[in-house]
Amino acid sequence: MKYRYISFLFILTIAVLPARAQLGGRYAFTFLDQPVSARLAALGTNQASIADKDINVAFMNPSFITADINNQLAFNYVNFFAGSNFGAFNYAHTFNKVGSFMGSIQFMDYGKFDYADEAGNTAGTFGASDFSFNIGWGRQLDSLFSIGANLKILNSFYESYNSFGIAVDVAGTYKSKTGWTMSIIASNIGFQISTFSPGEQRAPLPFNLQYALSKRLEHVPFRFSFVYNHIEKWDLTYFDPANPPGGIDPITGEPQEQKGLAKFGDQFMRHIVLGAEIYIGKNIVLRGGYNYRRRKELSIVDKPGMVGFSWGLGVRIYKFKINYSRSTYHLIGSPNYISLVFDLDTFKNDETVRF
C-alpha cells in the first residue's frame, strides 16, 4: 500500500513535466503566484508542507484538506504596493465517506486609475481586479498519505476588458513516523478560456511544480521549512543588464559570464526557499524566511538591503490565531500581511486553540 502511494506521487510528477516545462514570457492570472497567508509570506514563499491543522496551508496545498481543518474559517488581507490590496477567504468542512472540502475566494484589487487622453486631460476613474473562486477536495488515505485537488474559476477585470480561465492544483503528502512531512504540488494546471480582446493569443498560466519539506524538532521548539520551486525547469535566471547574474566587470563595465560551480550554485539556489519557525510557549511563534531568487531579481546591486528576507509572528488570543508578517521585495517598502484563523467547533466545545 505504501509503495502504491509513492508511485502515485511519482507519476503525478512525471505526467505534468512535458506539457508544462516552460517559464518566462507573458502569463495570465499571475496573481495566483502571490502568497496570501501571513504565515507562508513570513516563510518566504506561497507553499509549505506543514501538517499542523492550518487551513491557510491547505489553501495552497490541497493534500492538507482533511478532517483536521473541519469547520475552520480564515480571513487573509495584504496591503500591497501603490494602493493595491489582495486577500482570500477560506472555509473547510468534512463530510463522512465523501471527504473534506474547502471553499475559497481569492482576490486582487489594483485600486482606481484615472481616465486620461494624450494631452493628459482626465475624466473619471476605472478599476482593475482579479478573482479566483476555488473548490478544494482532500482525503486522508491512511496515517501516512493524503491527497487533494483544487478547482479554480478565474476572472480578470480591467476597465471594460474581461478574461476568464480555469485551473486545477493537485497534491500528495507523505508524513513519516519520525515527523518529516513531504509534499509534491502541481499548481495552476489550466488555460485561459477567453482573452481580453478578440483574436488575442491565449497566454499560459503560471504553472509551478513544487517539492516541499518540513519538520518540527522533537526536543527544540523549532520547525524548518524547505521548498523547491519549478521542478519542471532548471534555468530560472532572469537577465537584467543593470544587474547581471555574474556581476559587472569593474574595468570594462561589461556583464561577467557565470561559469562552473558559481553558475550551478546560482541556478540551484533560485529554486530554493528556506523558512523557520520558533515556538515561544503555547501562544507565540516567530517566523522567518529567505528567498534567494527574489533577492537576485529585485534587489539593487549597490543597496540590496533586506530584499529576499521575510519575517512574521503568530499569536493566539482566546480562540483566534492571528498571524502578521512583512516580506521585503524592494527598498521602497515591504507589504503587510495579516491573517485571522479560527475553528468554529472550539466555540461549541470550549476547546483550547494552540499553535
Report how far apart, in Å, the C-alpha atoms of 124 and of each of 91, 109, 158 are: 37, 18, 15
Question: Grid coordinates in use for 24?
Answer: 518566462
Q: Residue 167 forms beta bridges with which residues?
A: 152, 190
pTM value?
Answer: 0.86
The model's confidence at residue 250, banded by pLDDT at 50, 70 and 90, is low
Residue-wise DSSP of 162-206:
EEEEEEEEEEEEEE-TTSEEEEEEEEEEEEEEE-SSTTPPPPPP-
Type of residue at 341: V
Best CA proximity match to 189, nearest among 17, 73, 9, 345:
17
* 133-164 pLDDT tens trace: 999 999 999 989 999 999 999 999 999 999 99
CATH H superfamily, domain 2-236+271-349? monomeric porin ompg (2.40.160.40)
Would the pLDDT of 3 be above 80? no
* 307-345 pLDDT tens trace: 999 999 999 998 899 999 999 988 777 899 999 999 988
Tell me the domain boundaries of the chain: 2-236+271-349
Residue listed under C-alpha cell 487533494: 148
